[in-house]
Amino acid sequence: MTAIKLACAKKCYGNVGVLLDADSLFPHDFHLFGIEKSKNTSPLLKKVEDRHSFHQAMKGGLQNDVKAFIESHPRLKEAYDPSNKSALMTALKAGQYELYALLQSEGFSADEEVTEVVEMLTSEQTQRLRNAKLKYFGRPDDSRIIYVLSKSMLGFGQKNNKNFGKVRELYKELCSIPEISTTLEVVEFSALTEIIFDFDDSFVDLEPTRLSGIEGSCYYIGNHIYIGAKEGSKLLVTLAHELTHLSMQVSYDNDCKPDEISVSKQSQKLVK
Protein backbone atom coordinates (compact mmCIF):
# COMPACT_ATOMS: atom_id res chain seq x y z
CA MET A 1 0.00 0.00 0.00
CA THR A 2 1.65 3.20 -1.19
CA ALA A 3 0.72 6.68 0.02
CA ILE A 4 -0.85 7.65 -3.29
CA LYS A 5 -2.85 4.42 -3.54
CA LEU A 6 -4.18 5.00 -0.03
CA ALA A 7 -5.08 8.60 -0.88
CA CYS A 8 -6.97 7.39 -3.96
CA ALA A 9 -8.76 4.68 -1.99
CA LYS A 10 -9.88 7.24 0.60
CA LYS A 11 -10.81 9.71 -2.16
CA CYS A 12 -8.39 12.30 -0.75
CA TYR A 13 -7.79 13.72 -4.20
CA GLY A 14 -6.03 16.84 -2.95
CA ASN A 15 -3.37 14.60 -1.42
CA VAL A 16 -3.11 12.62 -4.64
CA GLY A 17 -2.30 15.88 -6.43
CA VAL A 18 0.33 16.80 -3.85
CA LEU A 19 2.02 13.42 -4.28
CA LEU A 20 2.01 13.76 -8.06
CA ASP A 21 3.67 17.17 -7.67
CA ALA A 22 6.36 15.34 -5.65
CA ASP A 23 6.96 12.97 -8.59
CA SER A 24 5.12 9.99 -7.14
CA LEU A 25 4.17 7.04 -9.30
CA PHE A 26 0.49 6.66 -10.13
CA PRO A 27 -1.36 3.76 -8.46
CA HIS A 28 -1.15 0.74 -10.78
CA ASP A 29 -4.92 0.54 -11.02
CA PHE A 30 -5.43 4.27 -11.57
CA HIS A 31 -8.31 5.10 -13.92
CA LEU A 32 -9.85 8.49 -14.59
CA PHE A 33 -13.28 7.00 -15.18
CA GLY A 34 -13.34 5.94 -11.54
CA ILE A 35 -13.13 9.58 -10.41
CA GLU A 36 -16.30 11.63 -10.49
CA LYS A 37 -16.01 15.11 -11.94
CA SER A 38 -16.61 17.69 -9.25
CA LYS A 39 -15.17 20.87 -7.77
CA ASN A 40 -12.98 18.77 -5.48
CA THR A 41 -11.58 16.54 -8.20
CA SER A 42 -11.08 19.09 -10.99
CA PRO A 43 -7.52 20.10 -9.90
CA LEU A 44 -6.44 16.45 -9.93
CA LEU A 45 -8.10 15.76 -13.26
CA LYS A 46 -6.26 18.76 -14.74
CA LYS A 47 -2.92 17.48 -13.40
CA VAL A 48 -3.52 14.09 -15.00
CA GLU A 49 -4.55 15.68 -18.29
CA ASP A 50 -1.44 17.88 -18.20
CA ARG A 51 0.75 14.79 -17.75
CA HIS A 52 -0.98 13.04 -20.61
CA SER A 53 -0.58 16.10 -22.87
CA PHE A 54 3.10 16.38 -21.89
CA HIS A 55 3.81 12.82 -22.96
CA GLN A 56 1.80 13.27 -26.15
CA ALA A 57 3.82 16.41 -26.93
CA MET A 58 7.03 14.40 -26.58
CA LYS A 59 5.76 11.70 -28.91
CA GLY A 60 4.90 14.39 -31.45
CA GLY A 61 8.19 16.23 -31.06
CA LEU A 62 6.45 19.42 -29.91
CA GLN A 63 9.45 21.06 -28.25
CA ASN A 64 7.68 24.30 -27.25
CA ASP A 65 4.95 22.37 -25.42
CA VAL A 66 7.54 20.22 -23.67
CA LYS A 67 9.49 23.30 -22.58
CA ALA A 68 6.30 24.96 -21.31
CA PHE A 69 5.52 21.93 -19.12
CA ILE A 70 9.06 21.86 -17.71
CA GLU A 71 8.80 25.59 -16.97
CA SER A 72 5.59 24.99 -15.03
CA HIS A 73 6.89 21.96 -13.11
CA PRO A 74 10.53 22.74 -12.22
CA ARG A 75 10.86 20.09 -9.49
CA LEU A 76 9.76 17.04 -11.48
CA LYS A 77 12.49 14.52 -12.35
CA GLU A 78 10.36 11.67 -13.73
CA ALA A 79 6.95 13.18 -14.63
CA TYR A 80 5.26 9.79 -15.01
CA ASP A 81 2.19 9.40 -17.19
CA PRO A 82 -0.82 7.48 -15.78
CA SER A 83 0.73 4.20 -17.02
CA ASN A 84 3.89 5.04 -15.01
CA LYS A 85 6.11 5.61 -18.01
CA SER A 86 8.75 8.23 -17.23
CA ALA A 87 9.28 11.27 -19.44
CA LEU A 88 12.68 10.02 -20.58
CA MET A 89 11.24 6.65 -21.52
CA THR A 90 8.48 8.24 -23.59
CA ALA A 91 10.97 10.41 -25.49
CA LEU A 92 13.30 7.46 -26.02
CA LYS A 93 10.59 5.09 -27.24
CA ALA A 94 9.30 7.75 -29.63
CA GLY A 95 12.79 8.26 -31.09
CA GLN A 96 12.72 11.90 -29.99
CA TYR A 97 16.40 12.02 -29.10
CA GLU A 98 16.72 15.79 -29.01
CA LEU A 99 13.85 15.94 -26.51
CA TYR A 100 15.53 13.15 -24.55
CA ALA A 101 18.72 15.25 -24.34
CA LEU A 102 16.68 18.33 -23.43
CA LEU A 103 15.03 16.47 -20.55
CA GLN A 104 18.40 15.27 -19.26
CA SER A 105 19.74 18.83 -19.44
CA GLU A 106 16.81 19.88 -17.23
CA GLY A 107 17.64 17.26 -14.62
CA PHE A 108 15.24 14.49 -15.58
CA SER A 109 16.65 11.17 -14.39
CA ALA A 110 16.88 7.76 -16.04
CA ASP A 111 16.04 4.54 -14.22
CA GLU A 112 17.45 1.08 -14.96
CA GLU A 113 14.74 0.37 -17.53
CA VAL A 114 15.64 3.50 -19.51
CA THR A 115 19.33 2.57 -19.36
CA GLU A 116 18.56 -0.89 -20.70
CA VAL A 117 16.63 0.57 -23.65
CA VAL A 118 19.51 2.96 -24.44
CA GLU A 119 21.93 0.04 -24.50
CA MET A 120 19.71 -1.76 -27.03
CA LEU A 121 19.64 1.11 -29.54
CA THR A 122 21.01 0.46 -33.01
CA SER A 123 24.29 2.10 -34.04
CA GLU A 124 22.35 4.64 -36.11
CA GLN A 125 20.03 5.47 -33.19
CA THR A 126 22.98 5.71 -30.80
CA GLN A 127 24.69 8.19 -33.10
CA ARG A 128 21.53 10.30 -33.31
CA LEU A 129 21.31 10.35 -29.52
CA ARG A 130 24.97 11.38 -29.21
CA ASN A 131 24.49 14.17 -31.73
CA ALA A 132 21.46 15.42 -29.77
CA LYS A 133 23.47 15.48 -26.53
CA LEU A 134 26.16 17.61 -28.17
CA LYS A 135 23.68 20.48 -28.28
CA TYR A 136 23.16 20.51 -24.52
CA PHE A 137 26.34 19.09 -23.01
CA GLY A 138 29.12 19.86 -25.50
CA ARG A 139 30.18 16.22 -25.36
CA PRO A 140 28.16 13.25 -26.65
CA ASP A 141 27.87 11.43 -23.34
CA ASP A 142 29.05 13.36 -20.30
CA SER A 143 27.73 11.11 -17.54
CA ARG A 144 29.23 13.31 -14.83
CA ILE A 145 27.15 16.32 -15.76
CA ILE A 146 24.06 14.22 -16.43
CA TYR A 147 24.37 12.57 -13.00
CA VAL A 148 24.66 15.77 -10.95
CA LEU A 149 21.92 17.43 -13.01
CA SER A 150 19.59 14.52 -12.23
CA LYS A 151 20.20 15.17 -8.52
CA SER A 152 19.84 18.95 -8.70
CA MET A 153 16.74 20.99 -8.08
CA LEU A 154 15.63 24.46 -7.12
CA GLY A 155 14.35 25.20 -3.63
CA PHE A 156 10.61 25.49 -3.04
CA GLY A 157 9.07 28.72 -4.24
CA GLN A 158 11.71 29.52 -6.88
CA LYS A 159 10.02 31.89 -9.28
CA ASN A 160 12.38 31.54 -12.24
CA ASN A 161 12.86 28.04 -13.62
CA LYS A 162 15.46 29.45 -16.03
CA ASN A 163 17.82 29.36 -13.05
CA PHE A 164 18.18 25.64 -13.76
CA GLY A 165 19.98 26.65 -16.94
CA LYS A 166 22.51 28.43 -14.70
CA VAL A 167 22.99 25.16 -12.79
CA ARG A 168 23.72 23.30 -16.03
CA GLU A 169 26.32 25.89 -17.06
CA LEU A 170 27.95 25.71 -13.61
CA TYR A 171 28.46 21.97 -13.97
CA LYS A 172 29.81 22.34 -17.50
CA GLU A 173 32.32 24.92 -16.25
CA LEU A 174 33.35 22.70 -13.33
CA CYS A 175 33.74 19.71 -15.65
CA SER A 176 36.17 21.71 -17.80
CA ILE A 177 38.55 21.94 -14.81
CA PRO A 178 40.53 18.63 -14.66
CA GLU A 179 40.73 18.45 -10.86
CA ILE A 180 37.05 19.20 -10.36
CA SER A 181 36.06 16.92 -13.21
CA THR A 182 37.70 14.09 -11.25
CA THR A 183 35.73 15.18 -8.19
CA LEU A 184 32.50 14.91 -10.17
CA GLU A 185 33.50 11.43 -11.29
CA VAL A 186 33.93 10.40 -7.63
CA VAL A 187 30.58 11.95 -6.70
CA GLU A 188 28.89 9.53 -9.13
CA PHE A 189 29.71 6.76 -6.63
CA SER A 190 28.03 8.56 -3.73
CA ALA A 191 24.55 8.03 -2.33
CA LEU A 192 23.74 11.65 -3.17
CA THR A 193 20.00 12.36 -3.11
CA GLU A 194 19.68 16.08 -3.86
CA ILE A 195 21.70 19.21 -4.58
CA ILE A 196 19.31 22.04 -3.77
CA PHE A 197 19.92 25.58 -5.05
CA ASP A 198 18.35 28.82 -3.84
CA PHE A 199 18.74 31.79 -6.18
CA ASP A 200 15.95 33.91 -4.69
CA ASP A 201 16.71 34.52 -1.05
CA SER A 202 19.31 32.93 1.21
CA PHE A 203 20.80 29.69 2.46
CA VAL A 204 18.57 29.96 5.55
CA ASP A 205 15.54 29.23 3.38
CA LEU A 206 17.10 25.85 2.56
CA GLU A 207 18.44 25.07 6.03
CA PRO A 208 16.76 27.25 8.73
CA THR A 209 19.06 26.04 11.52
CA ARG A 210 22.15 27.65 9.93
CA LEU A 211 23.41 31.24 9.85
CA SER A 212 22.61 33.53 6.94
CA GLY A 213 26.32 34.08 6.18
CA ILE A 214 26.78 30.43 5.17
CA GLU A 215 26.68 29.92 1.42
CA GLY A 216 26.67 26.14 1.16
CA SER A 217 26.75 22.94 3.16
CA CYS A 218 27.26 19.22 2.56
CA TYR A 219 25.06 16.96 4.70
CA TYR A 220 26.61 13.66 3.69
CA ILE A 221 24.65 11.65 6.29
CA GLY A 222 21.36 12.76 4.73
CA ASN A 223 22.92 12.78 1.24
CA HIS A 224 22.03 16.44 0.63
CA ILE A 225 24.00 19.46 -0.53
CA TYR A 226 22.58 22.97 -0.09
CA ILE A 227 23.83 25.89 -2.19
CA GLY A 228 22.68 29.43 -1.44
CA ALA A 229 25.38 31.73 -2.86
CA LYS A 230 24.18 34.28 -5.41
CA GLU A 231 27.26 35.88 -6.95
CA GLY A 232 28.62 34.18 -10.09
CA SER A 233 32.21 33.43 -9.13
CA LYS A 234 31.36 32.80 -5.48
CA LEU A 235 28.57 30.43 -6.51
CA LEU A 236 30.97 28.38 -8.64
CA VAL A 237 33.52 28.18 -5.82
CA THR A 238 30.86 27.24 -3.26
CA LEU A 239 29.52 24.44 -5.45
CA ALA A 240 33.01 23.07 -6.12
CA HIS A 241 33.81 23.28 -2.40
CA GLU A 242 30.78 21.25 -1.29
CA LEU A 243 31.18 18.66 -4.05
CA THR A 244 34.80 18.22 -3.01
CA HIS A 245 33.72 17.59 0.58
CA LEU A 246 31.34 14.89 -0.65
CA SER A 247 34.01 13.28 -2.83
CA MET A 248 36.34 13.10 0.19
CA GLN A 249 33.62 11.33 2.14
CA VAL A 250 33.15 8.83 -0.70
CA SER A 251 36.89 8.22 -1.01
CA TYR A 252 37.98 8.23 2.63
CA ASP A 253 34.87 7.95 4.84
CA ASN A 254 36.32 10.73 7.00
CA ASP A 255 33.28 12.95 7.70
CA CYS A 256 34.08 15.12 4.66
CA LYS A 257 37.21 16.51 6.31
CA PRO A 258 40.15 17.68 4.19
CA ASP A 259 42.70 15.57 6.05
CA GLU A 260 43.89 12.00 6.35
CA ILE A 261 41.59 9.04 6.97
CA SER A 262 40.86 8.68 10.65
CA VAL A 263 42.84 5.86 12.24
CA SER A 264 39.77 4.22 13.73
CA LYS A 265 37.80 4.14 10.47
CA GLN A 266 40.81 2.96 8.49
CA SER A 267 41.36 0.19 11.03
CA GLN A 268 37.73 -0.89 10.70
CA LYS A 269 38.14 -1.08 6.92
CA LEU A 270 41.29 -3.18 7.26
CA VAL A 271 39.50 -5.56 9.63
CA LYS A 272 36.64 -5.95 7.16
| pLDDT tens digit sequence for 210-230 | 666 678 888 888 888 988 877
The C-alpha atoms of residue 227 and residue 153 are separated, in whole angstroms, by 10
| pLDDT score recorded for residue 84 | 93
| pLDDT score recorded for residue 62 | 97
88 to each of 37, 58, 214, how far by Cα in Å? 30, 9, 36
The closest of 193, 200, 191 to 155, measured between CA atoms, is 200
| pLDDT score recorded for residue 220 | 81
| pLDDT score recorded for residue 179 | 87
Residue 65, pLDDT above cutoff 90: yes
The model's pLDDT over 151-181, given as tens digits with 9 standing for 90+, comes to: 998 877 665 566 788 888 899 899 888 888 8
Which H helix or E strand runs over 89? helix 87-93
User: Which fold is adopted by the domain 149-272?
Assistant: Glutaredoxin (3.40.30)
The model's pLDDT over 139-156, given as tens digits with 9 standing for 90+, comes to: 655 788 888 999 998 877
Pairing of strands 224-227, 216-219: antiparallel
The C-alpha atoms of residue 83 and residue 229 are separated, in whole angstroms, by 40
Residue 35, pLDDT above cutoff 80: no
Residue 185 and residue 177 in contact, taking contact as beta carbons nearer than 8 Å: no
Any idea where the domains of the chain sit in the sequence? 1-141, 149-272
Residue 240, pLDDT above cutoff 80: yes
Residue 256, pLDDT above cutoff 70: yes
For 73, which DSSP code? Answer: -
Confidence of residue 203 (pLDDT cuts 50, 70, 90): low
Confidence of residue 270 (pLDDT cuts 50, 70, 90): very low
Residue 34, pLDDT above cutoff 80: no
The C-alpha atoms of residue 240 and residue 112 are separated, in whole angstroms, by 28
Mean pLDDT of 33-45: 80
